[in-house]
């Protein structure tokens, strides 16, 4: 069977990944600074219950991890370490603060935050496999292996599906966000929701996954540009919408990293991992 294309097998792909990695790192730095300034969890780490012990200390920890790992990814000598720390931190966040909460109370607030955490863990895992050095490959062979990369992409795909379902379940909130010049807001709300679900399934089952990852990156970028930027210019953003705008930037950068991880894998054929 054909092995998954490893991230370091194509020099052109390597150059593209440098751009996506830098963009993701810059977003992490910005979010870390934002979290420290407002004294709260950076977008992508929230929500966390008010009853959580040492909640503010945990918020600052998350913000510092974002900031430090973003800076570390920008430098070659520290990139692998920064990616490893980010991956472990986000994995712990998912396993301790998202999965148990979702099991205890399965509702929009829990599965939505769990899906965002899965997207971030998948992205950090893919990033780590791209930046891993020889020491990482010796000590964590499974994490860096083709199967590890497949699991990372599956996690990312799983996280996309709830994002798409929300477009259907909360149509009254989604459709009004469609710019008026596009017309047919209900159609576009359903279409973008279906695209999230289709991309997630494609990445989970590894069928047209490279194409799906590229298209969903483009979609999230377009949503950021055409939905949120005009509202910012109009000056009618609510605090919740500002948060959604920032999260949309984070998702765009994350999806770009994952899309670039496919390197030279086939676009128009089902991809099989070993």
Tens of pLDDT, residue by residue over 177-204, are 998 888 899 999 999 999 999 999 999 9
Please say if the pLDDT value at position 139 is more than 60: yes
Q: Is 80 exceeded by the pLDDT of residue 42?
A: yes
Average pLDDT over residues 33-52: 90
pLDDT score, position 3: 39
Q: Of 180, 75, 179, which Cα lies nearest the Cα of 131?
A: 75
* pLDDT reading at 268 higher than 80: no
What angle, 0 to 180 degrees and rounded to 10, lies between the N-to-C axes of helices 108-131 and 239-260?
40
**Whether 157 contacts 14, CB under 8 Å:** no
Q: Residue 1: pLDDT band by 50, 70, 90 thresholds?
A: very low
Cα 239 to the center of its chain, rounded Å: 21
Percent over 70 (pLDDT), the chain: 90
pLDDT band at 8 (very low <50, low <70, confident <90, very high): very low
Residue 156 near residue 203 (C-beta atoms within 8 A): yes
For residue 75, pLDDT over 60 is answered with yes
Average pLDDT, the chain: 89
């Amino acid at each position: 069977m054909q092995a998954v294309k490893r991230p370091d097998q194509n020099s052109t792909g390597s150059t593209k990944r440098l751009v996506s990695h830098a963009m993701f790192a810059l977003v992490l730095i910005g979010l870390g600074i934002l979290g420290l300034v407002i004294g709260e969890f950076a977008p992508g780490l929230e929500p966390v219950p008010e009853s959580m012990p040492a909640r503010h200390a945990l918020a600052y920890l998350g913000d510092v991890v974002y900031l430090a790992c973003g800076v570390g990814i920008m430098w070659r000598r520290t990139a692998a370490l920064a990616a490893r720390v980010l991956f472990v931190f986000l994995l712990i966040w998912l396993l301790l603060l998202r999965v148990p909460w979702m099991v205890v109370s399965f509702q929009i607030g829990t599965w939505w935050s769990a899906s965002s955490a899965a997207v971030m863990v998948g992205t950090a895992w893919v990033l780590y496999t791209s930046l891993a050095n020889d020491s990482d490959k010796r000590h964590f062979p499974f994490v860096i292996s083709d199967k590890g990369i497949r699991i990372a992409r599956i996690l990312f795909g799983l996280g996309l599906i709830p994002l798409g379902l929300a477009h259907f379940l909360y149509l009254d909130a989604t459709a009004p966000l469609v710019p008026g010049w596009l017309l047919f807001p209900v159609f576009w709300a359903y279409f973008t929701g279906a695209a999230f679900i289709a991309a997630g399934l494609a990445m989970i089952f590894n069928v047209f996954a490279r194409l799906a990852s590229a298209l969903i990156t483009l979609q999230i970028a377009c949503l950021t540009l055409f939905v949120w930027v005009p509202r910012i210019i109009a000056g009618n953003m609510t605090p919740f919408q500002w948060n959604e705008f920032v999260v949309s930037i984070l998702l765009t950068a994350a999806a770009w990293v994952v899309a670039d991880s496919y390197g030279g894998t086939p676009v128009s054929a089902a991809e099989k991992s070993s």
